[in-house]
Amino acid sequence: MRSGAAFLLAVLLAVFLAAGQCGSHKDDDDKGDADRASSSSSDGHDDTEDHDDDEDSGHRDTADSDDDGSHDENASYPDRMTQRLEAQGLHIEQSSSDSDDDCAAHSYGQVAGYFADHPCAGLERAWYEVGDDEGNTAIVSVAWVEMPGPDSATELEALVDRPGTGNVTELSREDGPHGNVRYSGWYYRSDRDGDVFTSVQAEPLQSTEGSRDVARRASGTVGTD
């Protein structure tokens, strides 16, 4: 009898222990689910922060773009060039501009012959005396030529880009105190935007590396858009 009672007690103890282990596993599973939910919630918050960082980064990029060579779309070509030069850190000491529609009369070399056969639709020219903070200066002459269409503007650019073919006469040679400056071609750059061809030429006004650097910076600043 005592043997049967002991057996029954052993069975009950085993059932009790098994029930306790099952409850323990369930608690562990519930804790694991809670931890995973917490981790998922934390990841979602991090994603939101990353998204906010991306938006902030985009805002900074836009601001940097606005500060770097921005210009008024309604401004004239000479005014846009002034803004571009100033964005390069150059000072405009003096300048002048002029507009015409007779490109053949204001050009030389083969370029004048091209305009005789292919009249332009409009011409704007300007010159700028520019300098840096160290007193180095250069003269910059710019011509904006509007052609009847993109094809003729492309032909004009290809012609002017070839050495020895001539160019639009620099306004500084017809107006202002720098009429004796002859442009060497070392600081020349062209650009085309649709039917508008742009020619930029610069020359240093002192025989110094600083003045040559000013000429390089100024001639590299092309703006027709």
Whole-angstrom CA distances from 155 to 111, 164, 224 are 11, 16, 18
pLDDT in tens, 16-33: 445 444 444 444 444 344
For strand 91-100 and strand 122-131, is the pairing parallel, antiparallel, or unpaired? antiparallel
Query: In this structure, which amino acid lies at residue 158?
Result: A
- Quote the pLDDT of residue 69: 41
Give tens-digit pLDDT for 59-100.
Answer: 223 223 333 344 456 789 999 999 999 999 999 999 999 999
User: What pLDDT digit, counting tens, does each position of 94-103 carry?
Assistant: 999 999 999 9
The crossing angle, in degrees rounded to 10, of helices 150-161 and 110-117 is 160
String of b and e for 112-146 (b: at least 16 CB within 10 Å)?
bebbeeeebeebbbbbbbbbbeeebbbbbbbbbbb
Check: pTM over 0.85? Answer yes or no: no
